[in-house]
Structure 1
């Protein structure tokens, strides 16, 4: 046997073993067919290295952890869900003179798919600037009287992180109960002792699904807690796209101005946010001896009356539930549209169902506008975003590239009737791989406010054209096509 023959034999054996291991690795865990083929592509194109990538980005959350989440009842909500289902059948639940038939059907969808209660007495404030959002949040923390519940994907130990933490510590010192959930991967780089003083004061801070050293023991990139929730005294709730970090104040040169959208809610929708926090907290601390689960107490669910007129359902989704409730909500809003659909998303990597729904809407004469960033924060993700933007452009969708910093808002406004603001992007990761939460709102004034904000943002945008994509280099087009193949796992 010649040396060349020997090398050929060795390579063939390695290739065979790699392919066999790839098949065993991918098929041992249940996943949809698109993700299965994407992982087979990665594992076979990158022998050896592909398995390291899989360790970080492909390994699914354990069945035990899934059960921990499913086992948590929506404390304070479960009885209301059954009542609202009965009221829906009797047409006693919704203000039918104010809501369209489409809105009524959408509310029923969320009630059945996610046990999302409907509340119609909410007062909503919209933030699109981090300075304004954090100023108000700090003020609410300083005025808290009973408890503060905080849940963020990113809680950095930088300037604004220390400001928020100091406010939480002061609240704990004056007798307010403080609980914090943070995602260890989203908060990577943070000192493990960042929350030490808060805990010494009696507060509690736990990494989502992990030990105090969760970042080091769980390198998994997927199945992260991407929610951004704050509840103050059960009366005030925050939900949206802003995390806690200096970059969300435009302090990082890499991104420049940070354009995001967040809601401050006074009303009974805060009760639904409270219930979601309870579920996440109790699932997180189940195996943490020093942290106790939260039990139902009336003080956590103070029902309010007459604060406002906005109808809201808090809808969650994640790998603990095969019903992708937020994606179903997006599909419902898109399908309901008669006039226009305005979407802002940093990552445009929708699955076939959403792509088809957007295409059908545009081809039917609905004005569909989608706004994406002008810069990448993840290279492959941005190239996949460009690919899908081009595909939608060909179907008649208007694509706008935001040039005044980084576009991170996750919003959808439809026909001046309904809108959504939350943590879920228009991509596979938010639909299937991470834990998300959105506020779906039924309010003409709020929806038109988001539409006006959208029109203001367009002044800082470039509208993409077929010529823009045609003039791109072959190498860039190749990266877009290749990234598209990896869409189900990005």
Structure 2
């Protein structure tokens, strides 16, 4: 029997889709009629297309984006120009960026930013000193010690660890996920959240509206608020043609009392713990941090949350700051540096970290990612690493969730393999993990995919691990996953002229996927 809420979601989805299609239809008819009967408008659109093409060439930005937009404008001079005007500024939301800058400034005095820790970490890992400096001094993401990290190689283990820590919460629980879906996972978590809110804890839930649009009932926020939970929906979806819908909150953050924090690729949906099957066995990973780095992850949650506050109150922040006992730390525990990425500024933090790590590699680079849609910087870095004798291995899914995206990812295989990169496809199902390990010593794990959407259009978060013991567990898991994957060879790739041409066309439009 189909649940009543599922029928409501289906009807809502169909209705909104129809409304958007109607708008597209009206838009197309009006434009066609205008240019058919008006020489002036036709001439105007022609000059507009030329002006936009020149503007794209002139302005700073990713060359891949420039080429894509120029092609669209020249091939479809009317619609390409109009869509450029409508959607090009989607990553330059000035009002939101100003609010975020206010929040960043407000958080500066709460960072637990100790210069001595940075100097220690720099001394232990001098080859990554520039990266630590970039994240800490330029972007405001300090490096921390005194933080214990646990790695979870599968969603089921990650989920159980989340439940264990949730029931221990004493002061507050902050919950931010791209997808929240009805099912076992959400039901059990929701029960704990409601119980804790009833006990007087500060419980806050935030999820992305597009990510959760068809997976939970429309009145979920109302139900949570009635149970004493503060709930916010990031960037609510409206059936109106707009440029604001492309920047989504793709972050996954669970913070408990500011002392324990979780992140990784895992959303709150039953396929992530293989309770239900989607695209075969779901392979995903995550980490738990316990210590000062967990507090920085908490501030990452508060970044978007507080952009929806009317004011930033110091008294409220003081109630959230945890107390940490400082003890002598053996070097073996390593250093932890959580960071976040925003599409509203000019810094592509995730990409910068990936590129820096790849160029610093001396022995090996191990990558898990569901998508591989690279710009010139990342592709060149990987190719050069492999051509320099560094072992580069990438695991992607064999079973795809988005056909065009998967085919676009595969369009990079030939060039990478010819350069010496080893590419594997996880044969048991869908690879959704997002991580990179360099020289068995430094790693990044979080929400960032190796694609344009993650690197430039979404709000993301991740954690850099320097010498953390959990990296050993990550390597063991990677090696095990290789055994469950198929190595792709050049002869396995279709040499058909049509297929090759189609993939090249997909590459041209990759920045918009």
Which residue in 2 is equivalent to 1:115? Answer: 140
Shift of 1:358: 1.1
Residue 317 of structure 2: SS of its match in structure 1?
coil
Quote the Cα distance in structure 2 between the aligned partners of 1:57 and 1:456: 43
Shift of 1:428: 1.7
Quote the Cα distance in structure 2 between the aligned partners of 1:148 and 1:454: 31
Which residue in 1 is equivalent to 2:269? Answer: 245
Unmatched runs of 5 consecutive residues or more in structure 1: 1-8
Which residue in 2 is equivalent to 1:295? Answer: 316
* Structural mapping, 1:277-356, within 5 Å: 277-286=301-310, 295-306=316-327, 309-356=333-380
Is contact 1:185–1:219 with CA below 8 Å preserved after alignment?
A: no
Is contact 1:157–1:194 with CA below 8 Å preserved after alignment?
A: no
Residue 433 of structure 2: SS of its match in structure 1?
coil
Quote the Cα distance in structure 2 between the aligned partners of 1:324 and 1:417: 24
Residue 119 of structure 2: SS of its match in structure 1?
coil
Which residue in 1 is equivalent to 2:207? Answer: 182
Shift of 1:375: 2.5
Is contact 2:235–2:245 with CA below 8 Å preserved after alignment?
A: no
Shift of 1:257: 1.2
Match of 2:509 among 476, 486, 489: 486
Q: Which moved more, 1:19-28 or 1:227-236?
A: 19-28
Quote the Cα distance in structure 2 between the aligned partners of 1:229 and 1:56: 31
Q: CA RMSD in A?
A: 3.2
Quote the Cα distance in structure 1 between the aligned partners of 2:265 and 2:293: 17
Q: Measured at CA, do residues 286 and 256 of structure 1 come closer, stay the same or move farther in structure 2, by a change above 3 Å? A: farther
Which residue in 2 is equivalent to 1:204? Answer: 230
Shift of 1:154: 1.0
1:39 aligns with 2:69: yes
Shift of 1:481: 1.1
Is contact 1:398–1:463 with CA below 8 Å preserved after alignment?
A: yes
Match of 1:456 among 457, 466, 480: 480
Q: Measured at CA, do residues 393 and 15 of structure 1 come closer, stay the same or move farther in structure 2, by a change above 3 Å? A: farther
Shift of 1:129: 1.7
Q: Measured at CA, do residues 141 and 324 of structure 1 come closer, stay the same or move farther in structure 2, by a change above 3 Å? A: same
Residue 323 of structure 2: SS of its match in structure 1?
coil
Residue 443 of structure 2: SS of its match in structure 1?
strand
Shift of 1:475: 3.6
Q: Which moved more, 1:251-260 or 1:378-387?
A: 251-260
Quote the Cα distance in structure 2 between the aligned partners of 1:473 and 1:246: 39
Shift of 1:463: 0.9
Which residue in 1 is equivalent to 2:252? Answer: 228
1:126 aligns with 2:157: no
Quote the Cα distance in structure 1 between the aligned partners of 2:458 and 2:51: 24
Which residue in 2 is equivalent to 1:371? Answer: 395
Quote the Cα distance in structure 2 between the aligned partners of 1:196 and 1:279: 23
Quote the Cα distance in structure 1 between the aligned partners of 2:81 and 2:158: 41
Shift of 1:205: 0.9
Shift of 1:12: 12
The CA deviation string for residues 332-366 of structure 1, in whole angstroms up to 9 with x for no partner, is: 11111111010111111121111111111111111
Shift of 1:254: 3.7
Unmatched runs of 5 consecutive residues or more in structure 2: 1-34
Quote the Cα distance in structure 2 between the aligned partners of 1:293 and 1:207: 24
Which residue in 2 is equivalent to 1:5? Answer: none
Shift of 1:196: 2.1
Which residue in 2 is equivalent to 1:395? Answer: 419
Quote the Cα distance in structure 2 between the aligned partners of 1:69 and 1:477: 43
Quote the Cα distance in structure 2 between the aligned partners of 1:364 and 1:299: 48
Quote the Cα distance in structure 2 between the aligned partners of 1:474 and 1:283: 50
Is contact 1:77–1:117 with CA below 8 Å preserved after alignment?
A: no
Which residue in 2 is equivalent to 1:3? Answer: none
Q: How many residues align?
A: 470
TM-score, scaled relative to structure 1: 0.86
Quote the Cα distance in structure 2 between the aligned partners of 1:433 and 1:269: 25
Is contact 2:336–2:465 with CA below 8 Å preserved after alignment?
A: yes
Shift of 1:285: 3.6
Shift of 1:425: 1.0
1:149 aligns with 2:170: no
Residue 321 of structure 1: SS of its match in structure 2?
coil
Quote the Cα distance in structure 1 between the aligned partners of 2:315 and 2:151: 30
Quote the Cα distance in structure 2 between the aligned partners of 1:348 and 1:440: 20
Quote the Cα distance in structure 2 between the aligned partners of 1:293 and 1:237: 22
